[in-house]
Amino acid sequence: MKQTQAVGIDLGTTYSCIAWLNEHGHPVTIPNQEGELATPSVVFFDDHEPIVGTEALRNAIARPERVVQNAKRHMGDSDKFWRIGANRYNPVQISGLILRKLIAAAQDQIGEINEAVVTVPAQFSDAQRHATVTAGHSAGLEKVEIINEPVAAALCHVLGNEGLAFTELAIDQQLLVYDLGGGTLDLAIVSYSSDQVRVVASDGDLELGGLDWTQVLVDIAADRFLDDFKEDPRQDPHSHQFLALEAEQAKRSLSVRPRAAVTVQHEGNRRTYQIEQEEFEHLGRALLKRSNVITRRILADNGFGWAHVDVVLTTGGSSRMPMVRESLKKLSGRTLNSSLSPDQSIAHGAAYYSGMLLANQEYTRTIFDSQASSRLAHIQQQSVNARGLGILIRDTQTGDRVPHYLIPPNTALPASHTHVFGTVVDQQTKVHIRIVESGAGPGKPHTILGDCLITDLPSNLPEGSEVEVMISYDAQARVHVSARELKSGRSAETEIIRQENMAGQLQQEVDDVTHAAPPAKKVEAPQPAKAASQRKVETPPPTSSTSPKTTLSDEWAAVSARLSELSKFADSVDQAEQPVLLCNSCGTALGPKGKCSACDAAPKKRKRPTGVKRKSVQRTSASKPGAAGTAPAKRKRKKTAKTEAAGKSTNKQRSSEDDFWDLVD
């Protein structure tokens, strides 16, 4: 039997860390091969051999075109990749190399590692979580579990600082976890008691972190240099990377000193500038304002005031900045709890969670002593989803495609929602649904997770047959879909065809003709540490001498044929029989805004039509891990006249009274 270790990994934007639980149940950070507790999340490709960590960071100045940084900010983006020589690498591959480095160092010290818990920002979408799990598998892990970073910090606080005394807590206490890392800001309101750590709400910003404060210093020094020498060091990758590293060190110095020096060298000129902390804070106030808005929002949106918060817990390396601490202290009106290690607490919390998952397994009890095993098995963890989950529907009045959310944000996990759809043609054999998540914060666009094709429906189904679809989040906020045809009770096959799968397949085929003529593919060359936006550059088409014209023509003909084939597949999906979204209460087709015209027009105490007992099913079942994926119990229904009308062909039955919102590809 394989030895199983309780391992937690903080896969960070700028730095990553790995920890494990020893036999006493205490988290221990494992140093890398260079003896460092934190490994820079940087990859340098030295001829085809990847080098990860500090050595990669050193090479970023001399050979920036072969260095990749900040890949985490692009996780889940199927169109993003870096070209290194003749090869291209996407964020999953880069993250996998970073994880492999951490795991290799840990295995040298504690033995074989087959599974681990990897942390992600609470605002990560299902696609980003899926990408993180894939990166873990590519690093050699057989099993990868996910935990949100602020939840990991809360576990580290409760199990680490409170220790065994947590069992003596008489009342629930509320934490506000403020986690400001290198690339993201994560907040969570966490309630904990004698036997549970429960997330009440989460919020954050995936494009606000220490990188953005570093960019402030880069801009200060670069603007001064531009005034002095009429040259901008940000326009040259080598000069820019040198300046970015200087600014990062200056940012750390300004956390403990009133001023710091930043050296700029470009085009044979070199000058050192002193930057005052006051100037840094003044120019960084816009970033602080964004942080404060999110902090206020998480409280206001969930009906909390500062009086409901017992502890403000800070973590993440960027939370060290005095301006951040002072702003948060002023905002909350209380002293901050800074007892957690900003750099290691997330990995430690992930290791605790890994131990909690293992503690109830009989064969793993030999790993921990009885006291540690009892403590880890006793406490439970429950999180919430940061994003709403639903389906994409069409407003037949405007033609706009809009999301209709079935599971709202901050719902306790696992959670599921069941809705009824009506088929629109006779003998319909499949149902096509597009799954969406809400954006990472107000005003952010929704994310399309993929197309769910429900196949294997019973043959000879009449028009208007009802299909019950359940969309669910599991305990790690990953998406699952199941379906059942109500008349027969027969379950139907469901498969989510993710957007990145088709995009990745097509990109690989286009990329095989790397030196062909137009259309030129936009790719991004490796860039030094920057703010949220990254410069896009086009790969210039090479001269015709790279290959014979006939060869290029043949290659592009093959690519064009494949494009046409994929386009036809997409068209067939778009034209697949799309069901009508029905009201779960009365069976009427839902109208604009996803509302039921029949229910809205009826009196509040309206008597339900005989035989119609549909109710929207919203379940959370933390105590039953498998419950989120099971089909609801069979329900018998009798159709009303309105229900039957709703099941007729959309081409014949559409009216101003009963507007259909059809599911969109």
- The domain that contains 195 carries what CATH number? 3.30.420.40
Task: Name which of 611, 617, 613, 585 is nearest 598 in CA terms.
Answer: 585
**Cβ proximity of 637 and 612 under 8 Å:** yes
Whether 556 shows a pLDDT value over 70: the answer reads no
* Residue 305 or residue 647, greater confidence: 305
Is 599 a domain residue? Answer: yes
Q: Which two tokens stand for residue 355?
A: 């131990």
How many other CB atoms are there within 10 angstroms of residue 65's CB atom?
Answer: 15
Residue 47 belongs to some domain of the structure: yes
Q: What is the tens place of the pLDDT at every residue in 90-134? A: 999 999 999 999 999 999 999 999 999 999 999 999 889 999 999
My answer on whether 43 and 148 are in the same domain is yes
Is residue 522 domain-resident? no
Give yes or no for residue 312 having a pLDDT over 90: yes
Length of the chain: 665
SS3 state of residue 352: helix
3 state SS of 610: coil
**Contact (Cβ atoms closer than 8 angstroms) between residue 91 and residue 43:** no
- 157 and 65 in a single domain? The answer is yes
- How far is the CA of 379 from the CAs of 216, 382, 547, 621, in angstroms? 43, 10, 64, 17
Q: Using pLDDT thresholds of 50, 70 and 90, give the confidence band for residue 650.
A: very low
Answer whether residue 394 shows pLDDT above 80: no
* Dihedral over Cα of 178, 179, 183, 185: its sign: negative
Whether 468 and 607 share a structural domain: yes
Residue-number span of the structural domain to which 106 is assigned = 7-208+287-382
Q: Are residues 43 and 93 in the same domain?
A: yes
Distance CA 63, CA 515 (A): 23
* C-beta atoms surrounding 493 within 10 Å: 12
Q: Which two three-digit tokens encode residue 101?
A: 């480095």
| pLDDT at res. 161 | 61
Evaluate whether residue 484 is within a structural domain.
yes
Q: Would 553 be classed as within a structural domain? A: no
Domain boundary (382, 414, 438) is at 382
pLDDT, greater one: 626 or 19: 19
pTM summary value: 0.77
Helix orientation angle between 370-378 and 345-359, rounded to the nearest 10 degrees: 100
Tell me, yes or no, whether 14 and 148 share the same domain.
Answer: yes
Together in a domain, 15 and 127:
yes
pLDDT of residue 444: 86
Q: DSSP letter at 662?
A: B
Alpha carbon distance 660, 648 (integer Å):
11
Return the ∠ at Cα 496 (arms to 495 and 497), rounded to 5°: 110
Question: What is the C-alpha to C-alpha distance for residues 239 and 243, in angstroms, rounded to an integer?
Answer: 6
Q: Pick the residue with more confidence: 91 or 366?
A: 91
Give the tokens for residue 631. Answer: 């089909």
The answer on 160 and 20 residing in a single domain is yes
Are 173 and 119 in the same domain? yes
| Sign of the alpha-carbon dihedral angle for 111, 112, 117, 121 | positive
Residue 550 lies in a domain: no
In whole angstroms, give the CA distance from residue 566 to residue 570.
Answer: 6
Could you write out the DSSP letters of every residue in 416-442?
EEEEEEE--STT---EEEEEEE--SST
How far is it, in rounded angstroms, from Cα 31 to Cα 247? 26
Provide the terminal-to-terminal Cα distance of the chain, rounded to the nearest Å: 47
| CA distance linking residue 260 with residue 214, whole number of Å | 13
Worst-scoring range by mean pLDDT, 141-150, 235-244, 359-368? 359-368
Radius of gyration, CA atoms only, the chain: 27
Lowest mean pLDDT among 329-343, 511-525, 616-630, 647-661: 647-661
Site of tokens 């390396």: 317
Domain end marker among 236, 265, 285: 285
pLDDT band per the 50, 70, 90 thresholds, residue 451: confident
DSSP strands (E only) in 57-213: 67-69, 82-84, 87-89, 115-120, 143-148, 173-180, 185-192, 196-205
Q: Is the confidence at residue 655, as pLDDT, over 90? A: no
Of the spans 138-152, 394-408, 565-579, which averages the highest pLDDT?
Answer: 138-152
Max Cα distance, the chain (Å) = 86
Strands 67-69 vs 87-89: parallel, antiparallel or unpaired: unpaired
Residue 200: which pLDDT band, with cuts at 50, 70 and 90?
very high
Least confident of 285-299, 353-367, 449-463: 353-367
CA 23, CA 372: separation in Å to the nearest integer?
8
At 128-184, the pLDDT tens digits run 999 999 999 999 999 999 999 999 999 998 887 644 344 444 467 899 999 999 999
Decide if 471 contacts 481 (C-beta within 8 A).
yes
User: Which pair of structure tokens corresponds to residue 129?
Assistant: 């979580």
* pLDDT for position 544: 39
Q: Identify the bridge partners of residue 176 per DSSP, sorted by sequence position.
A: 189, 312
Letter for the amino acid at 664? V
Instruction: Kindly provide the b/e burial profile for residues 281-314, where b requires at least 16 CB atoms within 10 angstroms of the residue's own CB.
Output: beebeebbeebeebbeebbeeeebeeeebbbbbb
**Model confidence over 31-60: pLDDT tens digits?**
999 999 999 999 999 987 899 999 999 999
Is the CB of residue 425 less than 8 Å from the CB of residue 412?
no
Tokens at 587, concatenated:
């069976």
Asked if residue 514 belongs to a domain, the reply is no
Using the Cα atoms of residue 600, residue 602, residue 604 and residue 607 in order, give the sign of their dihedral. negative
**Residue 429 confidence (pLDDT):** 81
Question: Cα(477)–Cα(457) distance, rounded to whole angstroms?
Answer: 28
- Measured CA angle at 352 (ends 346, 353), to 5 deg: 90
Residue-wise pLDDT for 485-507, tens only, equals: 888 887 877 777 765 554 444 44
The pLDDT of residue 557: 62
Cβ(187)–Cβ(177) below 8 Å: yes
Distance CA 290, CA 618 (A): 33
Q: CA–CA separation, 573 vs 480, rounded Å?
A: 20
Q: Of 361, 415, 418, 362, which Cα lies nearest the Cα of 384?
A: 415
Q: How many CB atoms lie within 10 A of CB 651?
A: 8
Of 659 and 473, more confident: 473
pLDDT tier at 560, thresholds 50, 70, 90? low
Same domain, yes or no: 11 and 96: yes
Whether residue 268 is found in the same domain as residue 299: no
321-336 confidence digits (pLDDT tens): 999 999 999 999 989 9
- Looking at residue 579, its pLDDT comes to 65
Do 207 and 532 meet the contact criterion of CB atoms below 8 Å apart?
Answer: yes
Q: How many helices (H) and strands (E) does the chain have?
A: 16, 30
662, part of any domain? no
Which residue from 401, 426, 376 is spatially nearest to 649, judged by alpha carbons?
426
Task: Provide the domain count of the chain.
Answer: 3
Count CB neighbours of 644 within 10 A: 14
How far is Cα 134 from Cα 97, in angstroms, rounded to an integer? 12
How does DSSP classify residue 340?
S
Q: Report residue 78's pLDDT band, with 50, 70 and 90 as the boundaries.
A: confident
Residue 374 has pLDDT above 60, yes or no: yes
Is residue 664 predicted with pLDDT exceeding 80? no
Are 229 and 327 part of one and the same domain? no
* 256-283 tens-digit pLDDT: 999 999 999 999 999 999 999 999 999 9
CATH number at residue 262: 3.90.640.10
SS3 content of the chain, % helix, strand, coil (to 5): 35, 25, 40
**Which strand (E) or helix (H) includes residue 297?**
helix 285-300
Is a pLDDT exceeding 90 seen at residue 434? no
pLDDT in tens, 3-28: 688 999 999 999 999 999 988 888 99
CB atoms within 10 A of CB 339: 14
Name the residue type at position 16: S
User: End of a domain among 329, 358, 382?
Assistant: 382
Are residues 133 and 83 located together in one domain of the fold?
A: yes
pLDDT: is 459 or 319 the higher one? 319
